[in-house]
Structure 1
Amino acid sequence: MYTSTRATTPQSLSFEEVVMTGLAPDGGLYLPSSIPKIPIADWSSLSFQDLAFQIMRLYIPSSEIPDSHLSSLISKSYASFKSDEITPLYNVNENLYLLELFHGPTYAFKDVALQFVGNLFEYFLQRKKSNPITVVGATSGDTGSAAIYGLRAKKDVKVFILYPTGRISPIQELQMSTVPDENVHALSVNGTFDDCQDIVKAIFADKSFASYNVAAVNSINWARILAQITYYFYAFYRVKGTVRFVVPSGNFGDILAGYFAYRMGLPIDKLIIATNENDILDRFLKSGVYAKGSSVKSTHSPAMDILVSSNFERLLWYLAEGSDSERGGTVCSYMDSLKREGSFSVPNSVLSQAREIFDSSSVTNDATIATIKKFYASHKYVIDPHTAVGVNTALRFLENHPATYISLSTAHPAKFSEPVNKALASFPEYSFDKIIPDDLKRLSSLKKRVTYVDASLEAVENAIKHLY
């Protein structure tokens, strides 16, 4: 059963309730109040799909989704992936692997979760013949296109994705704005990702908007995190032995899935947070102070251009002491302080717990470009700027802490032509045209459908009402 990170009285919600509502009425995020431990060796020979079934079965009661239905949902979700392994490993050298998470329909790691979430929404709606839902999400780039591709043409689902104008890559925008299905809409917001995220949260809290049955696809939706746990287990079984995962991190959802895998018993030595110059997570682990900073820096890795990492709230709940209700009160006090003062600090006991499993680093814009260039020179393998942040971090950690590192490769390089071309222009054999998939090439010839709105709750809600 599930509870909210901000609940101060006992809660017991079903899986379906937390998936379909997304954000809790108290503004908190849903999570399981206990994490199951599993026998690691038993699943080593399973396919990705079968492994996903075993993991999800631990968190989804069969009374809500029977075995045959869950198996079908998983198979359907990964049928469109371009690799039979779904998330294959690339062996860089004896100490470093890249976990390729970009083989889904939109070439980003978000597909692993959002193909499943889209099918979940449809499953629950059709089974109960519920009223249509309105999916509202904020994206710093990849979540939006993955959500749209996961939900396009779904019956009884309307989709509205907010993204910051001019702060995502051209291909990411085309992936969202050229989908012809009438049930999906791209909203370009004159602001930052944090503005978009704040507006989405405000929509969930707006009781006057309740008739639209709002649902979430961002990583605030627990099903997103659940689906991402699988590839930590899948990668571990293919490397064997204790490993360190390096995760390019913005909203903290991807690495949070790794934390759940660790708590379930996966022998992870460290989960290393790799940030760009928007380094709130790195600063927290070094100081115990979670502070917004003055403004978002625009970087070559825009999916991580975030001031406040929403999913960090879930980790804080697990690190807090006391009963579930006492933890909820502690998280409420942190979030209230963040809202009022722009920061909060945690006791040394909480910081020490976090440091037991997490480490971190930040990577500059120049270092990101240099890493893309150096990696191509050494391996003739093109990485995107977010993956470069992870690789740079992994290589630096390797110098002082020899171990087996798995760095998450979160997006296809073709989605970020400007920084990739900047890094590789000096190589005579390199051509961007050679690495861009045909279906991404065709996007520029398609008709765009995008609505431009101001960064305010009223403007966004009016746009949704007009487009509905």
Structure 2
Amino acid sequence: MKYISTRGQVEPKGFIDTVLMGLADDGGLMVPEKVPTVSESTLQAWSKLSYIDLFLNIFALYVEDEIPADDLRQLAEKSYANFRHPEVAPVRQINDSLHIMELFHGPTFAFKDVALQFMGEFYSYISKKYGEVIHILGATSGDTGAAAIQGVRGKEGIKICILHPHNRVSKVQELQMTTVDDQNVLNLSVKGNFDDCQKIIKDLFADLPFKKQHHLRAINSINFVRILAQTVYYFYAYFRTQEAAAGRPINICVPSGNFGNIFSGFLAQKMGLPINKLIIATNENNILERFVKTGEYKPGDFRSTHSPSMDIQVASNFERYLYYFLNEDAAKVSAYMQQLQSEGQIVLSGADLEQVQQDFAAHGASNAECLDEIRKYKQQYDYLLDPHTACGIAAYELYNGDNEVCVTLATAHPAKFDEAIILCDIKQDFPAPIAALFDMPQYQTVIDHDQDEVVRQLESFYTLQV
């Protein structure tokens, strides 16, 4: 299996080199040269597997001989050993048409743990086996940072720097990152929004001499291994819902801001998983909803919402979808991305827009709608939604058809976003690991939105002996 760039200017790479590259050297995103397809008989065989065995079977199609099977199993088992549920990502039935897949049973109580615990172990494996220096650099709208730091803190041969938007993540998200005092961790709190942080990261990865000099590695979903690890739970969700669906079509509804999580579902669908509808849920930062409904991909005015992890206007994984939408024509992708840079928008219409609407449905929930869903599901089902999952429930209610079943992905534990829960006049008990955070000192450096200052911080950090 080889991997290529969506922009076509990178020689095909193996899996490990693809992971180490992160953002493609031509500014594109790495994708498999050919998406492997899974037969109906294989799907049937996979449907009874445990989460880890399913993970190993899917990864085997993409890794092939680069990682020995025993090594891959050890990495997977170690990655999920500290999850609080034996199934890793259990599926709960709420009513006859709704199931919720709980993706928040990892160490930082968010779906990012499912991929990033593996990425942390994998980077450690590469560092030890190949003598690689690993300097992870990433931006977060809240959950990625905590999960990435948890995955690599204290690991030999690895340093990690995470940028997060100052005062624009939830308090628990902030504490999960900034109460870590390991010497291989640097938290930069940037006066700006997530898109500002993400642009700095992309610009630094696009500076190839800087990237090479400092051994920069990506933890964000620009890295294909993040996408692949998330694809596993789409298969698992589908299989765990089949019996209750009793032959009815199965939809999957996905809270998504950066297009990474929903693209993982799109990849699973391309592999042959018969998902009926992929439903995108966003908030008032609704660039993805506008794209699906109107064909206009154009960043709008940034809004702070009750679901801050989706407060994103520039969805970095959109380019991967565009690549497949354009029938894997890298030249056309490059032209569209150049148009986005020069004109600030991409507009599709006619048959092209119809194709997008066949691929996805989308709904951007308002702040009021989000809180209404939290109150309603607590009252009707005694189930407490976090605000991102609540946006997903709003989209499920709008787009799940008669005689269809939907799995909505619960992307975080509600304790991570108590600011929204309080507004619903609901008091929740915090899990012990979250409650303990409020008594711990914080370690972060607050900086202006300034790429040169980020570079200065990084160069100082990389010279420290750990």
Pairwise TM-score range, normalised by the shorter structure: over 0.9
Deviations 1:252-279 (A, max 9, x none): 1111111111111111110000110111
- The 5 A counterparts of 1:94-105 are 94-105=96-107
Letter in 1 for 2:311: D
Give TM-score, length-normalised by structure 2. Answer: 0.95
Tell me which residue corresponds to 1:448.
442
Cα distance in 2, alignment partners of residues 13 and 201 from structure 1: 20
What amino acid does structure 1 have at the position aligned with 2:22?
A: G
Letter in 2 for 1:198: K
Query: Does residue 1:93 correspond to 2:89, yes or no?
Result: no
Q: For residue 316 of structure 2, what is the amino acid of its counterpart?
A: S
Give the structure 2 partner of residue 301 of structure 1.
Answer: 307
Q: Give 3-state SS (helix, strand or coil) of 1:85's partner.
A: coil
Contact 1:250/1:305 (CA < 8 Å) preserved in 2? Answer: yes
2:374 is aligned with 1:372: yes
Per the TM alignment, residue 401 of structure 1 is displaced from its structure 2 partner at its CA by: 4.2
Contact 1:188 1:453 in 2 (8 A): yes
Give the partner amino acid of 1:287: T
Query: C-alpha distance in 2, partners of 1:314/1:208?
Result: 25
Q: Which whole-Å CA distance do the structure 2 matches of 1:382 and 1:346 have between them?
A: 38
Q: Identity percentage over the alignment?
A: 44
1:311 equivalent among 317, 335, 355: 317
Residue identity in the other structure for 1:56:
F
Letter in 2 for 1:40: L
TM-aligned CA deviation for residue 354 of structure 1: 2.4
Matched, 1:285 2:292: yes
Aligned residues between the structures: 452
- TM-score with structure 1 length normalisation? 0.94
* 1:47 alignment partner in structure 2: 50
Alignment of 1:268-279 (within 5 A): 268-279=275-286
Rounded to whole Å, the distance in 1 between the matches of 2:9 and 2:72 is 33
Alignment correspondent of 1:233: 235
Would you say the 8 A contact 1:276–1:389 is kept in 2? yes
For residues 342-375 of structure 1, give each alpha carbon's deviation from its aligned partner in whole angstroms, at most 9, with x where no partner exists: 1012354433332223111111000101110011
Measure how far apart 1:8 and its partner are.
4.7
Superimposed CA distance per residue, residues 116-142 of structure 1 (whole angstroms, 9 cap, x where no aligned partner): 011111111111112x22111000010
Aligned to 1:462: 456
Question: What CA distance in whole angstroms lies between the structure 2 residues aligned with 1:360 and 1:402?
Answer: 20
Cα deviation per residue 1:305-354 (whole Å; 9 max; x = unaligned)? 00111001001001103xx5xx1111111111111221012354433332
Contact 2:421 2:427 in 1 (8 A): no
Quote how far apart the aligned CAs of 1:74 are: 0.5
Structure 1 match to 2:409: 408
**Offset, 1:208:** 4.4
Asked if the contact 1:97/1:405 (under 8 Å) is kept, the reply is yes
The aligned counterpart of 1:147 is: 148
1:431 aligns with 2:434: no
> What's 2:326 paired with?
320
What is the distance in 2 between the residues matched to 1:402 and 1:365? 29
Paired residue for 2:61? 58
CA deviation profile, 1:50-86 (whole Å, cap 9, x unmatched): 0000001000022x10110111111010001000000
CA deviations 1:393-422 (Å, max 9, x no partner) are: 112223x54410000000000000111111
Distance 1:401 1:283 in 2: 25
- Structure 2 contact 142–174 (Cα < 8 Å) conserved: yes
Q: Is the contact made by 2:293 and 2:357 (CA closer than 8 Å) also made in structure 1?
A: no
Report the CA distance shift for 1:288/1:378 in structure 2 as closer, same or farther (over 3 A). Answer: same
The one-letter code of the counterpart of 1:344 is I
- Deviates most, 410-419 or 202-211: 202-211
- Structure 2 SS opposite 1:99: strand
| Mapped contact 2:51–2:88 kept (Cα < 8 A) | yes
Opposite residue 457 of structure 1, the aligned amino acid is Q
